[in-house]
Amino acid sequence: MAIKNVLRIGDPALNMPSSPVTEDDYKKIHTIVEDMFDTMKHLDGVGLAAPQIGILKRLVIFGFDSNPRYPDAIAVPETILINPLIEPLDSSTDTDWEGCLSIPGMRGLVERPNRIRYSGTDQHGNKIDREVDGFHARVVQHECDHLDGILYVERITDMKSFGFIEELEQSQQYNPAPCDSR
């Protein structure tokens, strides 16, 4: 078990695009994936992208059965997604609160496509191809943004809907649905 240090906003690695996972990389993937799950679970997260632990490869993990801090969130299957592709299925969007392990203690309101199709492979090279919506779709989009060096704060359209969790909790409108987590 290895809990890795999660890079925080301001670290230039979080702004860099990641490169595709190659055939050679698959040999090393097992350890990286284990470390990522250890790190994500240690921090009560629901998703993590490889660049967040300093590995600039197109690899994300996400999923949870239940999260004690977000009892209303619908379970998302535990997934290892490599070289992902995302396409919106229609023009519907959804606006909800996001957080990120790289921006601890904060939340912001982000509008994203509500229904998406995503594809890629798992750590064994098996094809993944799913159509999802809601929170599941949001988590996948948030994590895959990391692979393009994009943090959710760049997608906030009204900066009044961004702040520290403790302060936001005093606001009537705040109804958290996390992405990575704290």
Kindly provide the b/e burial profile for residues 37-55, where b requires at least 16 CB atoms within 10 angstroms of the residue's own CB: bebbeebbbbbbbbbbbeb
Identify which of residues 23 and 52 has a Cβ nearer to Ni ion in the complex.
Answer: 52
Q: CA-to-CA distance for 177 and 160, rounded, in angstroms?
A: 18
Q: State the catalytic residue, choosing from 143, 154, 166, 167.
A: 143
User: With contacts defined by CB under 5 A, how many residues of the chain interact with Ni ion?
Assistant: 2
Segment near Ni ion (CB under 5 A), from 6-14, 55-63, 121-129, 174-182? 174-182
Q: Which one of residues 6, 29, 40, 100 is an interface residue with Ni ion (CB under 5 A)?
A: 100
139 scored as a contact of Ni ion (CB under 5 A): no
Torsion from C-alpha of 168, 105, 13, 180, nearest 10 degrees: -80
Q: CA-to-CA distance for 162 and 167, rounded, in angstroms?
A: 10
Q: Which one of residues 21, 108, 136, 180 is an interface residue with Ni ion (CB under 5 A)?
A: 180
48 scored as a contact of Ni ion (CB under 5 A): no
Which residue of this chain has its Cβ atom nearest to Ni ion in the complex?
A: 100
Q: CA-to-CA distance for 163 and 161, rounded, in angstroms?
A: 7
Q: CA-to-CA distance for 126 and 141, rounded, in angstroms?
A: 21
143 is annotated as an active-site residue: yes
Segment near Ni ion (CB under 5 A), from 4-12, 79-87, 93-101, 130-138? 93-101
Identify which of residues 108 and 120 has a Cβ nearer to Ni ion in the complex.
Answer: 108
Residue 10's identity, in one-letter code, is: G
35 scored as a contact of Ni ion (CB under 5 A): no
The residues binding Ni ion (CB under 5 A) are 100, 180
Residues catalogued as catalytic: 143
